[in-house]
Structure formats: C-alpha cells, structure tokens
C-alpha cells in the first residue's frame, strides 16, 4: 500500500515539534511536581530502590545496580543523570533532608565530585520509607506505564509533607527555570498543621511558622523585610552571608574564622573565595592579611584568616562582604508543576496543593482499607456462623458428591443429590444462604479452626475488624477526622525527624566598607612585546633606564591612582587601573594585560599605551591601513567604561598608527609598494572619535599604508626603512591626498 504524502508548512512543523519537545522537558524532566517535590528521575530512583527492597535496615547495594535497574525499567536517558540525582539526594550539605543513605565517597561541600557508581553504595533512609514510599501497595496513587509499557511506575509519590519546601529544587527547562530554597522540616510541618486547621490562612499568616529559608550550610539571611514579598509572589532575591567569628591568635594577632558559608558558595566557589581573598592581598587592598588557611573537615567549615594587630575588624569583614562571595544572593523562582502545568507559586499555593494532595491520597487509602475490612468482615461473619452449625456443614460435606454440589447448597440452598441423615438437616441446609466468598472460606477452612481458642481469636478478630470499619467510615465521612489523621502523622514526623533551624533570619544594612586611600606616587608602567605589564617606582626606573628601553615596548609615566589607555589596531580602546598592575622589581615578569582588561591578543595588537590624564592635554593622530586619517581631541577618551570603540573603520581596515600630537610638523606615509608621501600635519582635519577621517594618500590597487613617521620643527629626522637610513629632508614636501613618490634606495 502506497504511503500518503502530506504537504505542510515547514515553520508549522518546527513550531509544533519544538513546543512538544519543550513541554516534554518541562513536565517530564526538569521541573518538580509540587505534590511530592520530586523530578521524574528522583521519583524513579526512590521507587526503584523501594522495589529492590533496599530498606534502611538492609545492607547497602552498589549504586551501579540501582542506576542500571532504574535506567532499564523507568528512565532511559543515560546513567549520568540518574547517578547525579542519586548523589544529590545523599548530600546533606545540599538538601534540607537527605533521602538516601550513601556509603562511600559521595563528594563534599568543597566541590569534589563523587566516586564512580561502581565504588559507592546506597540504601533508603528511614524517613524516605515512612513519608515517601509507605502505602504504595494500597493503590493510593495512580500508576502509569513506563517508557516501553513493560512496567508500571507511580505518577507521583504519596509524600506526607511539603517536600518541595523542605528540600527545595533547582532545574532549567526550555524557557523557564526553577529555584526553590530548602526550608526547615519542623517549621514547614507547623505551617501545614496550621493550614489544616484554617484553610483561609494567607502567606503572611503562614510565615509566622516558616520564617524563611533554612539552608543546610547555615549562614545569615539579611533581608528579612523582603521575604514576605518573595513568598507571596514566588520570585525574588534572598541575600545570604557567611557566619564570621573572631578568635584571638598568636602574638596578639586576631583571627577571623568563617564557620558557615552562604548556600550559593557550595562547591568550587569555596576555592574561588580563597583565591579572591588572595587577589585582594596581591592588589594591596587587603594588606592586613597575614595568612589564610582552609581548616574545613567533616566536622564543618573552618576558614581562618589571620590579621595584623591593628586591623579594623569590622571594616575588614565588610570588605569581605563587598568584595567576595561571603555575601551572595539566592535567586528565588518557585516554579513547579501544578495540576499538569508549570506555575510560579506562593508559599500558600504550595502548602495548599500539598494539603489537597494529602486529602486525596488518604481518601484513596482509607477507601481501599475499608473495602478490605468489609471483605474480611464478610468472611469472618461466615466462618463464625459456620462454626455455630458446624455439624450441619460437616453433614453437607459428607453427603455431597463434589465441591460444586456442596457450594451450591451453602450459597443457594440447593440440596438435590446430597444425602442427609434427617429431614430436619435438609430443611436447615436449604436455609443457610452463605455468600460466594463465605462459602469458599468455609470450604477451605481447616479443622484446627474448630478449637475453642481459635474460635475466640476469630471472634476477637471480627471485633477488631468492626472497629476498623467504624474508624475508616468515620475518617471518610467526616473531614475533621481525616484532618486529625493527617495531623497526627505530621506531628509524629516532626517529633522524630525535625532538627533546629540552622540559618539565622535578620535585617542587616548593606555592608559599608571604607577603602583605605592609596598613597599617591609617580610610577612607570612598562609593557613588553609579549603583552606583560608591570609598574616600577621612579628610583627603579632611573637606575635601569637603559635595560628598560631595550626590553619594553612601552614605558609610560603616570600616577598610581590613575588609569592607562591601550589603543589596539582593531580600533578599540581598553582602560586599566594602574592600581591593578602589580608594583614590583625590574626583574619581575608582570602579568598579561589580558588579566586586567577585556583585550585579547588573538586578533589584535597594542599600538599605543598612555596615561589617561595625559590624553586630556594632547590630541591623537589616527592613521589606518587604507590611508584614512584624522586628529582627535584626547579628552574624548576620558571615559569610565573599560572598553569602547576608539574610532570608526571601513570594512577590512585596521589602524596602522596611533600617536600623540605634540611637537610634530610633518607626517610621512609609506605604502607597502614603496611609495613615500610627506605633507604638513596641519592638513589633517580634527574630527570626532567615531568619524572615519579623510584620505591621506592615494594608494595603488592592493596597496596599504605600511609605515608612518613624523618630523619635528628643527632637527632633521632619519627614517629607518628596509635596513636603509633615509634623511627626512630627501623626501619632497607635497600635499595630502596625493600619490607620493618612489625613492631610489
């Protein structure tokens, strides 16, 4: 049968396909479900461990076994995502409540990654079994087919508390991102209990219980007044500081000890924090530092900064808050899947959805339990009734030819074909009328059940069954009873697993840091041909002036409080603070100019290095390869931005020369095909920095300006060209925008 070709617009196909892909990523990969606070991969890992029987009181199992089973049954998206999720759920420094008990190297707070899955082992934590996976056998949540429809998996786990708040969540989907901070389990349960009692509570009311985030790393939240708006809108920024303590050091020195870090500093940011402090010392902004040591261990964070005796401790702390990640922000975007679609939720919305879910799965749970108890009651009542007429039952069984005949008699009272000892027995048999289930139970009953004690136990069991039925009916019929059941479970979880708050919530003003004023002095900034820069003081420069002239491409006198400007051949201007350039000895190599500016040496070179303050006193002469030139007032380059466009260039053009216009009289342009043109500089017009300029020399096809020289007023200069020394007077004076002449060398 021939296939049918459907013609359609390509953009429509792409649009539909991308929307389908985006929704798949959003709902099935990246965002958590508000009901259980889990992403699909996390839910599948926990369920697979539950199915494998890796309980908290059983031996650990290899992580590779768990990952392989999860990937093969439920999550066919690669083992790395599964193992990464498993690792995160074991890390107590990332989660408010770790859900998996890891055995082995599962990484640390300083950013070291976990060992390979073949080395580590894991098992479920007790709270995960009790609060996440309990009662799954009671059909309390929907089960859906897995990717190949060979297995069933839960669409959501019946979590008993708002896990999305306790553990938080981070994820990037297509066009959206979620970032929910972790909270204190005890506070979240208290808020949930309060909402159960009063469903009309607002976010403001709930925040009497949930004070704010409770990061596993502790720290101090300093913008308490902004939290209400953040939790009402679901969006905002939480400012977090590390905890700093002051200790007495040796020889009267003071130690600043960081014992808690901001949550965003977890991982590689700790080493960056240490390198930032070292950089402050090297740039002479933190000269009070004597030593830095990271003494952190399994017991906790301990970063020790040893300071000089006369250090202003408060000012130094504020400097760390301002200049390093010791104060950072946690961006909040409480986005989650609610009722099948992504939604930015408030604190109240989250708790309301979780409470609604609790009612939903508890209703299913007790409905199923009630059905099972009703079934048990039916059978128990049949057995008790049968025990009362056991002689008649035995007579029916002995007189029947087969099981079917006996069952018909017990259920329908049909006695045809059954031999009875007396007519009275037959009449009584016709009146039994047991149910189908009761009849099956009677036929399968063993003789030991007729023992007196067994009969008493059966009666007591029936009484318990009736009590359960009464209790379950009460829970299902009265919302207050259901609420009480949910509340009791929450209280038990709080009693068993709640921990004290770790993060302090407060209001603190912005850190005020008074930077020590640098003592102003004259320095020379030196740059070699490799792009390394350094600064030397005047005495050092004067003692080594000869070697400096030989080794340095540029040597500029400036103030250490000022800036230097770098003009490159791609028409850009880069500025750098002189204070960022290390002041050292003549033998010091310096640092690459790339480190302190946005300049990169890949596709351009520096043509001029000068002091920004000098530019205000002079003008600059720009000459391009295509012979466009202009004079620009240096004041136009007195800018605060680190990088600007210094001049406008034609397509394919580059700057050939940038020079300070000082005492020069004439300019000499030399093209790469050997033409020389000399004319007065005053023929070059002054223009703005973003102008292209005017043509200085008529060029032949494929010719470009190769060299630019200047001559003074009195002394005749000598031009070095292709190993020849040419007196400037040998070149005849002409006018701008002419072709020039070839010289006989």
Task: Please identify every residue annotated as catalytic.
Answer: 119
Those residues with Cβ within 8 angstroms of residue 413's Cβ, 6 or more apart along the chain or in another chain? 429, 430, 431, 432, 433
What is the DSSP-derived secondary structure letter of residue 101? E
**CA–CA–CA angle 164, 167, 170 (5° rounding):** 75
- The burial class, CB within 10 Å (0-12 / 13-18 / 19+), for 40 is buried
Contact 88, 97 (CB under 8 A): no
Q: How many whole angstroms separate alpha carbon 137 and alpha carbon 11? A: 47
Nearest to 502 by CA among 719, 299, 221: 221
Nearest to 143 by CA among 216, 217, 44: 44
Contact 442, 406 (CB under 8 A): no
Q: Give me the residues paired with residue 79 across strands.
A: none
Would you call 37 helix, strand, or coil by DSSP?
Answer: coil
Query: What does residue 239 show for φ and ψ, rounded to 5 degrees?
Result: -90, 125
Q: How many whole angstroms separate alpha carbon 162 and alpha carbon 176? A: 22
Contact 619, 607 (CB under 8 A): no
Q: How many whole angstroms separate alpha carbon 311 and alpha carbon 331? A: 34
Whose structure tokens read 């000892």? 421
Neighbours of 550 (CB within 10 A): 7
What is the DSSP-derived secondary structure letter of residue 130? I
Nearest to 711 by CA among 697, 728, 735: 728
What is the maximum span of the chain, computed from C-alpha positions, in angstroms? 152
Query: What does residue 306 show for φ and ψ, rounded to 5 degrees?
Result: -85, 130
Would you call 488 helix, strand, or coil by DSSP?
Answer: helix
Long-range contacts of 481-485 (CB under 8 A, 24+ apart): 482/359, 482/362, 482/363, 482/366, 483/196, 483/197, 485/362
Contact 437, 375 (CB under 8 A): yes
- Secondary structure string (H, E, C) spanning 497-531: HCCCCCCEECECCCCCCCCCCCCCCEEEEEEECCC
Q: Give the H or E element holding residue 719.
A: strand 718-721
Query: What does residue 649 show for φ and ψ, rounded to 5 degrees?
Result: -125, 150
Q: How many whole angstroms separate alpha carbon 151 and alpha carbon 155? A: 13
Query: What does residue 3 show for φ and ψ, rounded to 5 degrees?
Result: -75, 155
């Amino acid at each position: 049968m021939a296939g049918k070709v459907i013609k359609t617009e390509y953009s429509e196909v792409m649009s539909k396909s991308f929307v389908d892909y985006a929704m798949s990523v959003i709902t099935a990969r990246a965002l958590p479900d508000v009901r259980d606070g889990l992403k699909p991969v996390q839910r599948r890992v926990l369920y697979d461990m539950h199915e494998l029987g890796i309980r908290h009181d059983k031996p650990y199992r290899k992580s590779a076994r768990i990952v392989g089973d999860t990937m093969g049954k439920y999550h066919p998206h690669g083992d790395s995502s599964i193992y990464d999720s498993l690792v995160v759920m074991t890390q107590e420094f990332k989660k408010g409540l770790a859900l998996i008990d890891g055995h082995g190297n599962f990484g640390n707070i300083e950013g070291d990654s976990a060992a390979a899955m073949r080395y580590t082992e894991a098992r479920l934590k007790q709270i995960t079994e009790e609060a996440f996976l309990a009662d799954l056998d009671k059909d309390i949540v929907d089960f859906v087919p897995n990717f190949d429809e060979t297995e069933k998996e839960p669409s959501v786990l019946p979590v008993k508390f708002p896990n999305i708040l306790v553990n938080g969540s981070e994820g990037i989907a297509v066009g959206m991102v979620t970032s929910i901070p972790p909270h204190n389990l005890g506070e979240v349960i208290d808020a949930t209990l309060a909402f159960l009692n009063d469903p009309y509570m607002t976010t403001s009311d709930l925040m009497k219980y949930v004070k704010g985030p409770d990061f596993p790393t502790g720290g101090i939240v300093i913008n308490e007044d902004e939290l209400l708006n953040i939790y009402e809108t679901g969006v905002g920024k939480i400012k977090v500081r590390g905890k700093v303590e002051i200790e007495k050091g040796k020889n009267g020195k003071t130690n600043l000890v960081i014992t808690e870090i901001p949550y965003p500093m977890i991982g590689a940011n700790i080493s960056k924090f240490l390198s930032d402090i070292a950089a402050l010392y090297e740039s002479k902004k933190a000269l009070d530092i004597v030593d830095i040591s990271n003494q952190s261990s399994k017991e906790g964070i301990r970063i020790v900064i040893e300071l000089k005796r006369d250090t202003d401790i408060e000012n130094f702390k504020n400097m760390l808050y301002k200049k390093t990640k010791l104060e950072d922000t946690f961006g909040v975007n409480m986005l989650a899947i609610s009722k099948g679609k992504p939604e930015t939720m408030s604190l109240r919305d989250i708790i309301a959805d979780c409470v609604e879910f609790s009612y939903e799965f508890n209703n299913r749970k007790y409905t199923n339990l009630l059905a099972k108890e009703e079934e048990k009651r039916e059978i128990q009542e049949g057995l008790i009734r049968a025990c009362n007429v056991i002689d008649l039952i035995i007579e029916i069984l002995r007189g029947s030819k087969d099981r079917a005949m006996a069952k018909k008699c017990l259920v329908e009272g049909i006695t045809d074909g059954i031999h009875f000892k007396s007519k009275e027995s037959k009449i009584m048999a016709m009146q039994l009328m047991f149910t189908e289930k009761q009849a099956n139970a009677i036929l399968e009953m063993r003789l030991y059940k007729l023992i007196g004690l067994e009969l008493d136990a059966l009666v007591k069991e029936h009484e318990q069954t009736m009590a359960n039925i009464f209790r379950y009916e009460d829970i299902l019929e009265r919302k207050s009873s259901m609420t009480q059941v949910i509340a009791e479970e929450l209280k038990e979880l709080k009693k068993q697993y709640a921990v004290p708050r770790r993060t302090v919530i407060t209001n603190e003003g912005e850190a005020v840091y008074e930077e020590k004023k640098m003592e102003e002095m004259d320095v020379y900034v030196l740059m070699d041909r490799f792009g390394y820069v350094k600064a030397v003081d005047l005495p050092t420069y004067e003692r080594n002036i000869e070697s400096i002239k030989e080794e340095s491409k540029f040597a500029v006198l400036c103030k250490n409080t000022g800036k230097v400007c770098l003009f490159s051949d791609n028409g850009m201007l880069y500025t750098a603070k002189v204070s960022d350039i290390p002041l050292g000895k003549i033998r010091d190599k310096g640092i690459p100019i790339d480190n302190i500016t946005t300049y990169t040496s890949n596709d351009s070179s520096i043509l001029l290095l000068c002091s920004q303050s000098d530019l205000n006193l002079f003008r600059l002469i720009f000459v391009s390869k295509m012979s466009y030139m202009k004079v620009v007032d240096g004041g136009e380059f007195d800018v605060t931005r680190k990088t600007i466009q210094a001049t406008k260039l034609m397509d394919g053009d580059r700057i050939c020369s940038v020079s300070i216009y000082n005492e020069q009289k004439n300019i000499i342009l030399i093209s790469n095909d050997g033409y020389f043109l000399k004319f007065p500089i005053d023929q070059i017009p002054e223009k703005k920095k973003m102008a292209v300029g005017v043509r200085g020399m008529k060029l032949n096809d494929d010719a470009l300006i190769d060299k630019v020289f200047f001559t003074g007023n009195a002394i005749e200069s000598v031009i070095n060209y292709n190993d020849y020394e040419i007196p400037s007077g040998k070149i005849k004076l002409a006018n701008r925008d002419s072709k020039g002449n070839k010289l006989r060398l």
